[in-house]
Structure 1
């Protein structure tokens, strides 16, 4: 366990780094996020805390990090959402860049495949205020299968450098035991030189990337049905990890 002085130093470091960042989830917690309400690192994991969690995953010139930035969260309880539930997500806003276009996607295989379940084009975050927590709801699909999943918030900003933001949260979905979820694959624009390019809104003359979003290919992901024994094992693991 960290001493009170080490904990204070970590907090001050987080505040210093994050003042220059932009936007991420605060709830549900982003992977390895520095927020007090998120799963905390183990004794030897404090160097893995992401104090720059609000920074973009990439620009049109450079891929800065993988889409989820980190391969996993710290051990701890994942929030549980019901299929069909509207979640009042809390976004930690450093700079809102006059809004932009958002996509929400689910993955059940640790990010190998994504299906978009909600969009909000051009005006996403346009009413946010810099330096605040902003509520941005999303709705879990009513037909979402049960299982451990990742919710990914993906955002292309309207103003400033041509960037892609991506914030991944590990969650548990309670829905149908086994099934499929259909939609479209996410658009990862302004994410490296080979990605689609979306211009600043003020310079785009109305071409804010709609053609790219309309061209997203369809995808169906299937989650196998789980036996009662396996469901019980997972429940025990979750209880154990929450201690």
Structure 2
């Protein structure tokens, strides 16, 4: 039975998500993603697989999902990245909406606090072919503290179509300094419910892609305390 279920999982993972499919992480794996590269669920967790992982989190009219969609990933090995490393992140692209503005952010406290580590405004994913796996490079800051439970979040506001917000969260491990601080700005969550900033369609608005809202993001510093290293005591002779 387990073999049959795993085979079905692998078959389904080869397809783009059907319902309201647009864009998500494929690597690093999004939380509860349906891809064969991702940690697989236990036998009693198959109903928790997110086959709609590419869908937006909401529009300017309503919020349909939390920023990371799910509170956790399935148990499994998290990918490890070094501080200063550039990750060749792979995006599963169904529709590119003529690009948009991407933000990349890290959280060391399971999504309570975010700090933006990289931006790509206006034409992010504009050249990504429909139905493709597209690579976007993102660099972990060289001074990023070590963390075994870090979330890497890709956030995207599209240029064309419904005024939506996309977000894809991957659980990762960072090997960096033992404690320290990471400074940047808090991410912008626009077109995410009626109380959020509204970014219009770029072509319809005469080129307004929300630059005034991105420029107004608040500075933030995340501080991670150092981990006490265990002292090794030499055996008595």
Normalising to structure 1: TM-score of the pair? 0.90
Judge conservation of contact 1:106–1:114 (CA < 8 Å) in 2: yes
Counterpart in the other structure of 2:119 = 119
Counterpart in the other structure of 1:36 = 36
Partner Cα distance (1:137, 1:2) in 2: 36
- Does 2:60 correspond to 1:60? yes
Partner-residue secondary structure (3-state), 1:213 = helix
Partner-residue secondary structure (3-state), 2:203 = helix
Q: How many residues align?
A: 229
Partner Cα distance (2:183, 2:17) in 1: 39
Partner Cα distance (2:18, 2:173) in 1: 28
Q: 1:229, CA displacement in angstroms?
A: 3.9
Q: Which is higher, the Rg of structure 1 or of structure 2?
A: 2
Alignment gaps of 5+ in structure 2: 232-237
Partner Cα distance (1:19, 1:131) in 2: 14
Judge conservation of contact 1:180–1:221 (CA < 8 Å) in 2: yes
Counterpart in the other structure of 1:237 = none
- The equivalences for 1:60-139 within 5 A come to 60-139=60-139
Instruction: Using the TM superposition, name which of 204-213 and 98-107 deviates more.
Output: 204-213
Alignment gaps of 5+ in structure 1: 231-243
- Does 2:186 correspond to 1:185? yes
Counterpart in the other structure of 1:175 = 176
Partner Cα distance (1:149, 1:16) in 2: 27
Partner-residue secondary structure (3-state), 2:150 = strand
Query: Per-residue displacement from partner, 1:86-137 (whole Å, max 9, x unpaired)?
Result: 0000000011100000000000000000000100000000110000000000
Partner-residue secondary structure (3-state), 2:75 = coil
Judge conservation of contact 2:19–2:52 (CA < 8 Å) in 1: no
- Does 2:220 correspond to 1:219? yes
Counterpart in the other structure of 1:22 = 22
Counterpart in the other structure of 1:240 = none
Partner Cα distance (2:16, 2:212) in 1: 39
Partner Cα distance (1:204, 1:98) in 2: 15
Partner Cα distance (2:90, 2:184) in 1: 24
| TM superposition outliers: structure 1 runs of 4+ over 6 Å | none
Which one has the bigger helix percentage? 1
Query: Per-residue displacement from partner, 1:11-34 (whole Å, max 9, x unpaired)?
Result: 566648436400000000000000
Instruction: Using the TM superposition, name which of 169-178 and 220-229 deviates more.
Output: 220-229
Partner-residue secondary structure (3-state), 2:35 = coil
Judge conservation of contact 1:24–1:54 (CA < 8 Å) in 2: yes
Partner Cα distance (2:47, 2:230) in 1: 37
Partner Cα distance (2:60, 2:21) in 1: 18
Query: Per-residue displacement from partner, 1:64-86 (whole Å, max 9, x unpaired)?
Result: 10000000000000000111100
Partner Cα distance (1:166, 1:125) in 2: 14
Judge conservation of contact 2:103–2:187 (CA < 8 Å) in 1: yes
Instruction: Using the TM superposition, name which of 93-102 and 221-230 deviates more.
Output: 221-230
Structure 1 residues 229, 36: CA separation in 2 closer, same or farther (over 3 Å shift)? farther
